[in-house]
Structure 1
Amino acid sequence: MQLKIEGDKDSRGFEDSETAYDYRHEGVLQCVASRLGWLVFFFCGLMLAAVVVEAFEEVLKKEVELSYFVPLLIGHGGNTGSQAVATMIRALALGQVGMQDLFMV
């Protein structure tokens, strides 16, 4: 019972935090401005992907079926990266890994 009460106190502490972020009260321009770095990063990634696809244009012309898999590859790469980052951030937040584990992860 004590564990449940402590858990409830902890979760309420997060809700009452002054640093809590609620994007619903933020305007469109504020959202864009706060994410501009990531937007530029993803734009550069898309430009790089376009260069790679252009470099293999002749192969894709001969083997059109390969072009169907390009969006799948891009999506899987993004999903895999996001999941890996989320897993590591969670482990860091819970103290499950630290700097001593740098080469392990």
Structure 2
Amino acid sequence: MLAKFLQAIHKKKLVQVKFVAKSDGQLRDRKCVPFDYGASTTAKDKSDKYHFYDLNSPSGRHNLPLFPNQIREITILEDESFEPADYVKWEPSWIVKRDWGQYS
């Protein structure tokens, strides 16, 4: 699953992710931008996580960090690319190296 996620980052492809929500244990299915993989510098728990940007949550777009054991499936949406400029609104300090131009 990680290899597929990293491929989506490098190819700038959106993904469909199915995961179990921590809040209620329910299976969710979201279209997301794959942002990064690793331990967040701002989180209390320094475990590696998949970092997504959720595009179709009922509560609106938001960052979505998920532990590997929450994820059931990641599908690369080969026909749906994204432009980092549309989503990266800060000075990035990615864990996973990438070639996103000024957003790398």
Range of TM-score over shorter length: under 0.3
Structure with the bigger percentage of helix? 1
- State the TM-score, normalized to the length of structure 1: 0.14
Structure with the bigger percentage of strand? 2
Largest Rg, 1 or 2 = 1
